[in-house]
Amino acid sequence: MSTRTDAPPPQSRRERRAADRARGTSAARRSAPATARRGTPVFWITALVGVVAIVLVGGLVLLQGTGPAKVDASGLIAPTSLTPTSLADGRSLGKADAPVTLELWSDYQCPACAQYAEIVEPELVADYVTPGVLRIVHRDAAFQGVRAGGSYDESVESAAGARCAAEQGRYWPFHDWVFANHNGENKGAYADARLRAMATSAGLDVTAWDACRATGDQQRAVRAETEQGSAGGIGSTPTLIINGETIVGVRPASELGAKIEAAAAAAGS
């Protein structure tokens, strides 16, 4: 037995058109508030602010992803000659009782100091230090880094690194590597990553060397000695003092040799 449901009576064409118009009007009324909202100034201002916020956030993410520019610590230049360390005593080189003392005030960033270290000093070491006539004593005159005005002073940090190398008996190898890689003033040649690479190349225990630098004691010592030199009349680098005679700037090894010999003769007499 089936159950039958009566169907609604068929609509005329006029009735169907009227019903369609009624449905269209109702839909239009429902969408009108949303359309009106999208057309208001408040809507467009809000949308614009949202787009700007997305762009700014995206830019910050990109910046955070790239980070600061990294210093290339590769491609270091090996020293053309290494200072013999058999007579090394910290930052000094030569016999303690040598008749002549050359006191050198120098800045690792100073181009003229690099010229002295790589060309002149090796001749003096061979001709006068090794035979026992001359003792060379290095002093810090870290002037150049101040000009950069940043929190990282390449002159101070390189000199502090050399002092920490001296604590491992490796002052002179580190000195040779640093000057061999001189590249102008305040240009990143002695950024931390590069100094660490030089320390490695100079045969240092880099972990102990890092710990030495981290205390800040050697940086303070560099600044204190620089101030001491300034108070004593040291105003430029390199400044050499040979048994009391002050010589400013780079001089040929032959000229300095003549002064060393004269000072040795005077000391002997």
Residue 34, CA distances (Å) to 20, 40, 43, 51 in order: 23, 10, 11, 20
In a domain, 196, yes or no: yes
248 forms beta bridges with 239
Question: Do the domain assignments include residue 61?
Answer: no
The pLDDT tens digits of the residues spanning 252-262 come to 999 999 999 99
The domain total for the chain is 1
Distances (CA, A) of 23 to 8, 30, 31, 58, 250: 19, 11, 13, 45, 99
Q: Is residue 35 part of a domain?
A: no
At 214, which amino acid appears? A
Is residue 79 in a domain?
no
The answer as to whether 263 is a domain residue is yes
CATH number of the structural domain spanning residue 133 = 3.40.30.10
129/95 Cα distance (integer angstroms): 8
* Containing structural domain, residue 241: 89-268
Prior bond of 131 cis (ω within 30°):
no
- pTM value surpassing 0.75: no
For the ranges 8-17, 168-177, 218-227, the lowest mean pLDDT is seen at: 8-17
Please measure the distance between the N-terminal and C-terminal CA atoms of the chain and give it in whole angstroms.
Answer: 146
Q: Give the tokens for residue 251.
A: 């001089």
- Asked if residue 31 belongs to a domain, the reply is no
> Model confidence over 186-241: pLDDT tens digits?
888 999 999 999 999 999 999 999 999 999 999 999 999 999 999 999 999 999 99
Q: Is residue 66 part of a domain?
A: no
pLDDT, greater one: 2 or 225 = 225
In this predicted structure, the answer to whether residue 127 has a pLDDT above a threshold of 80 is yes
246, part of any domain: yes
